Structure 1
């Protein structure tokens, strides 16, 4: 039985993989939209989509879900176009961009035309590109971040979460848009800037003496591998997240200043301490091999379906000093009560959270 229509705008690696997941694991009809007729032909021929078109208005007509899988620099412009189109009432729109704050602020404007925008960021990728590389396993066990606002309906969050959980088999994480941008800025955007800067610096040295490149072996190449990323894509990402990245760069310069001062002063003990701290912190990073997930401590909480409930629960725990790992929205049971899945890093945090929530008269299931 056909459940409705899902449209994916942008049929590249991410968009194609998302379309393929939905087509293979749900009963929705999947429509692809792209400026490239060749990409659409490949997608149809390989079974990635059911139908395809280069006409945006035709693609979004009667769609229950729209996924914007276009470059970050184009998402805001695309949403402006969508605001002028007769979208299906109740349609949920999401994106796959790696920045969220600016995009979510533009997305709020879509509520004026009777649809819901919920920012999304599947943290998965491949060294390959294009619809030819579409893979139904691309998102499996990866983190898929959703960034609702306090006004986002819990029912809409449940609808989108249910679709993504079934289709992608990813681990959904709910996060504030600006917090997302700071976290991803620190672990992805800033490292790309540093890698590019280091390659450019060594490149200038190599102009005077070619041995800099000749001797640039494994360590240098591993450290700077991400500097080979697509320049236009990273231009758009940094422009979209520029305020956060600038703040992170200031912190990076302070970190480099600590090293500089210790080296300049000949303080061998401090230099060793800086490297030792980095080594210990590096060893604490979780092993994120595909298919392996650390089992979190979890509980389930019944909440009324009203705007802001996700924020209320998170704020309550934060005020009590409880470290919440993530919040997941369980399937809608078609009642007035929804279910949140709360995950914690430690058993102590879980125990404290259960006590605080019960004291606040929430129904908690352990």
Structure 2
């Protein structure tokens, strides 16, 4: 396709979408706008965008597609600003926000115009953030939710623009989106933060708790390290639904407390067994609402140079890693090296590489 695309917000998602669109549609012109001038300069100098915008109105009025990739609260402000411009008659506007009902309500300003607003939410992410971490591969096989009529002409045009993401597109209502993401993303972030707060409070009594939390506990609560400003805004935007789910949580916790109080062994067993069965039925290689962490666990002996040995084999195969850490290693005892990758394909290739080159066991948790 040919045309002008304006990306508003040059973070990880905005930058990655710019790359995906340009790769699939090399004749398109990608303009980037960001309130941070440094982001625009970085994006332009690294070729992520073709040019940067010094005037949002001028750039917006040139665009055939406008992608709003800023925090959810800022998205509503951008929508209001765009509604005051003389946009092209058939321009398509989409967003990437994690909540949808309030954003779609803001977009009603376009309902009596020829401008088409299609709410969007690519369920993709990375260990890293910022425009320099952008990578079109983060969308590959990830679910991309759209608030739109699947058969409309404008939707078909947007799908063509987004073809380079290689995403799995799902069409839902704004209410369905906010209900589902509340269950599988918003509430889990609250729970993870609560677990970390509990550990922090306990650390004043038990000095060694931080060391004991360095393994599985830290893995379980990874999402508590998410951007606090972003999550504050997401929770406020979806507060009504989240409150409902937290109320359900309180009821569930009270049931567990009651089982403990009455030493209900059968009830506790069913509680954990039901959770185990459903958790194990969830597809392992799907990309969901919370960005997956593609970790490979490698048992390694404790001797100097073992880390460089492993990374050397991966480098020979041109396999990129995003993080590396040791869970435990003591003299004469095998430890566990955890290597993180951008996607499952790289992780599987790395596992084969290590198995071929060494006698170290590899496994996926």
- Provide TM-score, normalisation by structure 2: 0.75
Alpha-carbon distance, 1:289 to partner: 4.9
Q: Which residue is 1:111 aligned to?
A: 111
- Mapped to 2, the partners of 1:251 and 1:288 lie a distance apart of 29
Judged with a 3 Å threshold, the aligned counterparts in structure 2 of structure 1 residues 288 and 54 are, in CA distance, closer, same or farther, namely farther
Question: Is the 2:66–2:92 contact (alpha carbons within 8 Å) kept by the matching residues of 1?
Answer: yes
How far apart are residue 222 of structure 1 and its match?
A: 1.6
Contact 2:76 2:106 in 1 (8 A): yes
Deviation at residue 213 of structure 1 after TM alignment: 2.4
Equivalent-residue separation in structure 2 for 1:230 and 1:12 (angstroms): 13
Tell me, in whole angstroms, the C-alpha distance in 1 between the residues paired with 2:72 and 2:269: 41
- Confirm or deny that 1:6 pairs with 2:9: no
Aligned ranges 1:291-302 → 2 under 5 Å: none
How far apart are 1:113 and its partner, in Å?
4.0
Aligned to 1:157: 155
Question: Gaps (5+ residues) in structure 2?
Answer: 288-365
* 2:238 aligned to which of 238, 241, 244: 241
The CA distance in 2 between the partners of 1:288 and 1:103, in whole Å, is 30
1:164-185 Cα deviation digits (max 9, x unpaired): 1x22111111011111111111
Query: What is aligned with 1:123?
Result: 123
For residue 271 of structure 2, what is the aligned residue in structure 1? 274
Work out whether 1:258 is the aligned partner of 2:258. Answer: no
> 1:48 and 1:214 mapped to 2: Cα distance?
41
Give, in whole Å, the separation in 2 of the partners of 1:89 and 1:218.
55
Counterpart of 1:187? 184
Deviation at 1:232, TM superposition (A): 0.4
Q: Distance in 2 between matches of 1:71 and 1:48?
A: 20
Q: Could you list the per-position Cα deviations for residues 300-343 of structure 1 after superposition, in whole angstroms to 9, with x for gaps in the alignment? A: xxxxxxxxxxxxxxxxxxxxxxxxxxxxxxxxxxxxxxxxxxxx
Q: Give the match for residue 327 of structure 1.
A: none
State the SS of the aligned residue for 1:61.
helix
Q: 1:176 — aligned with what?
A: 173
Who is 2:308 aligned against?
none
Give the 5 Å matches for 1:1-366: 3-26=2-25, 27-148=27-148, 154-164=152-162, 166-289=163-286
List gaps (5 residues or longer) in structure 1: 291-366
Q: Is the 8 A contact 1:52 1:59 kept in 2?
A: no
**What is the alpha-carbon distance in structure 1 between the residues aligned to residue 204 and residue 108 of structure 2?**
49
- Asked if the contact 1:8–1:19 (Cα under 8 Å) also holds between the matched residues in 2, the reply is yes
Q: Supply the distance in 2 between the matched residues of 1:259 and 1:288 (Cα, whole angstroms).
A: 31
CA contact (8 A) 1:37 1:54 kept: no
TM-score, normalised via structure 1 length: 0.75
Matched residues, number: 286
Q: How far off is 1:211 after superposition?
A: 3.0
Distance, in Å, in 2 between the alignment partners of 1:254 and 1:119 is: 33
Q: Take 2:140 and 2:274, find their aligned partners in 1: how far apart are those partners? A: 33
